[in-house]
Every structure is written in structure tokens, then in C-alpha cells.
Amino acid sequence: MALFDYAPAPENRDIANLKPHYRPFINGEFVDGNGEPLKTINPATGEVLAEVSTVDTTDIDRAVQAARNAYEKVWRRMPGSERAKYLFRLARLIQERARELAVLETLDNGKPIKESRDVDIPTAAAHFFYHAGWADKLSYAGYGPDPQPLGVAGQVIPWNFPLLMLAWKIAPALACGNTVVLKPAETTPLTALVFGELCQQAGLPPGVVNIVPGAGDVGAALVSHQGIDKVAFTGSTEVGKIIQRQLAGSGKKMTMELGGKAANIVFDDAPLDQAVEGIVNGIFFNQGHVCCAGSRLLVQESIAEELLEKLRYRVSTLRIGDPLDKNTDVGAINSAEQLAKIRELVASGEAEGAERWTSPCPLPEKGFFFAPTVFSGVHPSMRIAREEIFGPVLSVMTFRTPQEAVTKANNTPYGLSAGIWTEKGSRILWMTAQLRAGVVWANTFNRFDPTAPFGGYKESGFGREGGRAGLEAYLDV
């Protein structure tokens, strides 16, 4: 037993105000959906949290119609300064109910409470605050004197940051004068539906925001619906491609934020201890369920051994367990399906001859957990170097020169993010110009801010979210 054994410090789950039933939010009201109800579970225990009524195509029709009415009759005509008031209200309501939303997010998703409390919810509020500020200043955003909204947006979001991805989608859409129909992920619908309550609390006109829970078929029906003008999707590259095929020729505007296989590149003159922190944060933050995760570590050969030694020690101090415990660093894998995928890819890494090191940390007996794992001796041809694992698994490769680092980093069909660790400013600038990635972090990783545009190259998608650039996705420019 450890000398300094932290006693369990669980957050009170009652704060989540969990209800037995959740219903779709259409035209300002919670209504029964006509789809098969789904049960959402706590991935840390396997217990059923709640039953969620889902929508079918007739409900989607109603939601899209409600959004259309709200768009034509209210929202597009409302002065930006008035729309801003609603967005500010939503931001404040997220802050007011932050603790409830954080606990609910952790229960439904499996992420540690310290992340939902300190990252997800505050950043979601920040996105509303930021975009509230834009609502009456769109004429000065650089898109012409009077940029117009697109209409009704159909939005489909993933399960890794449920409320935060909702904020990334809804805040800019509303600020620009669009109305939305949003489908939360099948395994994590709860905070999105509570967001419906916030819309009611804020007095948002009915139909401006509609939340339609369901599985992939609901998403497919939503994005191909005749009544929407714009599709925003965050999720896997596989599904992104299907949506693009479906929408080809439809004239609908699209933004896609898809998979990634980011390189975190550490040079021999890097601040080593902080690089170790950045590597850990890059791949073990949110159990590695991050599209921009630094899942490939490229380290200069001359310091590889020393860095790996430091990294293994640091990773072994990560605490894996009950996501509600305030001292938990790595929580539960979101679903049995995702856990199986991670295991399959890890097995392939072993079979292909990479050297596996797994943290000796104890794992809970129940629920979906995977111990942080580092593969060294990885070659670019291995599956663990090419495919997105979306789990707490790091693949380590080495390089000798900056050019080799760039070549290896760019050698992927993805291009979402990258990290550079060096104290040499000129090298950071040179690397940034060479790397084909939408976001490049220098001496940090996985930092998100509503003022900074986020998005990908190549198979990681197109369009930007956040910042001035993110407004373009919701304006007719």
C-alpha cells in the first residue's frame, strides 16, 4: 500500500439531478419521441442511468419545421444585440448549473470529474460568452458589410465531449442568426437534453434550438433532411465520408471535424519535464478520447531513452478509477464497443512487434477501463502508428533531424493537430509552416480556447470552429 494513500473523495452523484426519463426537446418543449427508447449507462459501473426517448423521421420533420419557423419568423430578424442577450444568458446558466452538468457529464460519459468540472463545462460556457460577443459585430468580422445566416443547421456531435461539442456547434450557429436541430451521441445524450432546460430557462424562442436524441440512423436522417441548409458534423472519418457522399450535389453547406493521429514532436532542447506533462496531457486526457490527441510521440533519438524513462514514471503516477472521485486522473472508456476497439488495436501493436509498457496501476473490477499504455519501437507501417485508437495508448517513434520529424509527422491521412516541443523559437516557426495540421501547439498540448479556430486538413475534415474563422461556417459568404 502507498505511504500517502488518498482516501476516496467522490463528488456527490445526487448533484446530477438524474431523472429516470429524458425526452427530446422540440419547439421549446420536451416531447415523447416516436423512436425506440434507448438506455444510457454509466460506463464506470455498467448501471443504467436513465431511459431516453428517441426520435423517428416524423419527429425530425417536426424539429426541422420548428427550426425553420423560428428562423424565418423570429431569429434571423432579431437584431444581433438581442440574440447576444440570449447567448449571454445561456452562458451564465451553464455557469450557474456547472456542478450539476459536470457530475451528469461524468456519470454519462465516464470522464473524470476533475476534467468535466475544470475543462468541459467552463469551456462550454466560454464558447457561449465568446460568441455572444460576436452576435452584434458580424458586419465587422470581415465577411462583408451585412453577412447573412444560412438557415437551419443540422448538427451531429460525438460522445467524447458531449456538452462542449454542443457549445462548439450551437453557440456560433445562434450568434450568426441560424437555428439548429442537434443530435447528441447515442451513449451520451443527457447533458444535451438538460441544455434544453437551459434554453427554456433563458426564454429562448421555441424552435431556435431542438435536441433530437437517437442512434446513427437519426443522424443520417437529420443530415440528409430536405429542410436543412447546413450540416455540421463531428465524429469519425468513416461516417464523415458517408455524409459527404449523401450530401454531394445537395447544395448544403458542410463542416466536418473528423479523426486524427496527431504527432507530438519532442526535440533534444525541449523543456523535458514539461514535455512529459504535455505528452501525458496529449494522450491520457479524457482517456485519449480526443480527436486531436497526441497519439504519436516523435522524439529525437538522442533523448529518447531518458524521455521514456521520465514518461513511464509519470504515467505510473496517474490514478485510474471512479470518475466521480476528485483525485481520478483517467476515467472509464465510454463504451464496451470502444474498449473492444482499443484492445484489438493494442493486440495488433503487440503482434506487429512493438514493445508494450502498461502502467501497473490497479483497475476497478466493474466498468470499462483500460490502463495507460505506451508502445515504443513503433514503425510508421504499424497499425498503431496509422489508425486512430481513440484510447489511452501512445505510440512512440524516433527521429534524427527536423526534416525527418516533419516527414514522419505528415505521413498520415489525417491532419488535425500537432505539438512541437523545443526552446528554439525559429524552429517552432519553421515546423509550423511544414506541418500539415489544422492546429499546431508549441510547448503545450490540448489547449482549447473559443478565440482560437480549430479544425483539420485532409481526412481530419474541413471548416473551422471557434475564432473569427469559425463564423464563416454559419454565414452565407
Partner 1 sequence: MPQAALSGLDEATRDESSLRRFLDGLPGVDQVGVEQRAASLATRSIKKASKLWALNTAISMVDLTTLEGADTVGTVRSLCAKARQPDPERPDTPRVAAVCVYPDLVATAVEALEGTGIGVASVATAFPSGRSNLAVKLADTKLAVESGATEVDMVIDRGAFLSGRYGAVFDEIRAVKQACGDAHLKVILETGELVTYDNVRKASWLALLAGADFIKTSTGKVQPAATLPVTHVMLQAVRDWYTATGELRGVKPAGGIRSAKDAIRYLVAVNEVAGEEWLTPRLFRFGASSLLNDLLLQRRTQLDGHYSGPDYVTVN
Return the number of the residue (309 or 350) whose C-beta is nearest partner 1.
309
Helices and strands in the chain, H and E counts: 16, 20
Among 56, 200, 444, 462, binds partner 1 (CB under 8 A): 444
Classify 107 in phi/psi space as left (phi over 0), alpha (psi -120 to 50) or beta. Answer: alpha
Whether the Cβ atoms of residue 299 and residue 307 lie closer than 8 Å to each other: yes
For the CB of residue 274, give the shortest distance to partner 1 in the complex, in Å.
3
Task: Note whether 449 binds partner 1 by CB under 8 A.
Answer: no
Return the number of the residue (273 or 350) whose C-beta is nearest partner 1.
273
Per residue in 271-280, is it b (16+ CB within 10 Å) or e — as a string? ebeebbebbb
Can you spell out the DSSP letters for 91-157?
HHHHHHTHHHHHHHHHHHH---HHHIIIIIHHHHHHHHHHHHHHTT-GGGTTS-SSPEE-SEEEEE-
Catalytic residue (one of 105, 186, 199, 291): 291
Task: Note whether 47 binds partner 1 by CB under 8 A.
Answer: no
User: Which burial class, exposed, middle or buried, applies to 56 when counting CB atoms under 10 A from its CB (0-12, 13-18, 19+)?
Assistant: middle
Per residue in 425-442, is it b (16+ CB within 10 Å) or e — as a string? eebbeebeebbbbbbbbb
Among 273, 301, 337, 355, binds partner 1 (CB under 8 A): 273
Among 156, 193, 209, 270, binds partner 1 (CB under 8 A): 270
Task: Note whether 301 binds partner 1 by CB under 8 A.
Answer: no
Whether the Cβ atoms of residue 184 and residue 161 lie closer than 8 Å to each other: no
Among 6-14, 24-32, 94-102, 291-299, which window interacts with partner 1 (CB under 8 A)? 6-14
Task: Note whether 4 binds partner 1 by CB under 8 A.
Answer: yes
Whether the Cβ atoms of residue 134 and residue 178 lie closer than 8 Å to each other: no
Residues 6+ apart with CB under 8 A from 330: 112, 284, 287, 318, 319, 320, 372, 392
Return the number of the residue (184 or 402) whose C-beta is nearest partner 1.
402
Active site residue 11: no
| Residue 39 DSSP label | E
For the CB of residue 95, give the shortest distance to partner 1 in the complex, in Å.
18
Q: What residues are paired with 25 via a beta bridge?
A: 30, 211
Residues comprising the chain, all counted: 477
The C-alpha cell at 333 is 472508456
Whether the Cβ atoms of residue 452 and residue 460 lie closer than 8 Å to each other: no
Residues 6+ apart with CB under 8 A from 169: 153, 155, 157, 180, 182, 232, 234, 465
Among 96-104, 269-277, 378-386, 401-409, which window interacts with partner 1 (CB under 8 A)? 269-277
Q: Considering only CA atoms, which of 322, 380, 392 is closest in space to residue 10? A: 322
Return the number of the residue (317 or 411) whose C-beta is nearest partner 1.
317
Task: Note whether 238 binds partner 1 by CB under 8 A.
Answer: no
Return the number of the residue (251 or 360) whose C-beta is nearest partner 1.
360
Q: What residues are paired with 256 via a beta bridge?
A: 233, 462
Among 34, 201, 236, 327, binds partner 1 (CB under 8 A): 327
Among 32, 82, 96, 306, binds partner 1 (CB under 8 A): 306
Among 4-12, 43-51, 170-178, 179-187, which window interacts with partner 1 (CB under 8 A)? 4-12
Among 51, 61, 72, 277, binds partner 1 (CB under 8 A): 277
Return the number of the residue (13 or 326) whose C-beta is nearest partner 1.
326
The C-alpha cell at 46 is 455498467
Number of Cβ atoms within 10 Å of the Cβ of 2: 5
Task: Note whether 309 binds partner 1 by CB under 8 A.
Answer: yes
Active site residue 257: yes
Task: Note whether 452 binds partner 1 by CB under 8 A.
Answer: no
For the CB of residue 272, give the shortest distance to partner 1 in the complex, in Å.
4
Task: Note whether 429 binds partner 1 by CB under 8 A.
Answer: no
Binding positions for partner 1, 66-85, rule CB under 8 A: none
Task: Note whether 58 binds partner 1 by CB under 8 A.
Answer: no
Return the number of the residue (12 or 381) whose C-beta is nearest partner 1.
12
For the CB of residue 362, give the shortest distance to partner 1 in the complex, in Å.
16
Among 120-128, 213-221, 272-280, 378-386, which window interacts with partner 1 (CB under 8 A)? 272-280
Among 7-15, 29-37, 204-212, 428-436, which window interacts with partner 1 (CB under 8 A)? 7-15
Residues 6+ apart with CB under 8 A from 228: 64, 67, 151, 152, 153, 154, 181, 222, 252
Task: Note whether 9 binds partner 1 by CB under 8 A.
Answer: yes
Binding positions for partner 1, 86-145, rule CB under 8 A: 114, 118
For the CB of residue 263, give the shortest distance to partner 1 in the complex, in Å.
19
Whether the Cβ atoms of residue 327 and residue 6 lie closer than 8 Å to each other: yes
Q: Can you tell me the distance from the alpha carbon of 306 to that of 22, in angstroms, rounded to the nearest whole number?
A: 51
Q: Can you tell me the distance from the alpha carbon of 231 to that of 238, in angstroms, rounded to the nearest whole number?
A: 16
For the CB of residue 9, give the shortest distance to partner 1 in the complex, in Å.
4
Task: Note whether 274 binds partner 1 by CB under 8 A.
Answer: yes
Looking at the annotation, which residues are catalytic? 257, 291
Judged by the rule CB under 8 A, the positions of this chain that interact with partner 1 are 2-9, 114, 118, 269-274, 277-278, 302-303, 305-306, 309, 317, 326-327, 423, 443-444
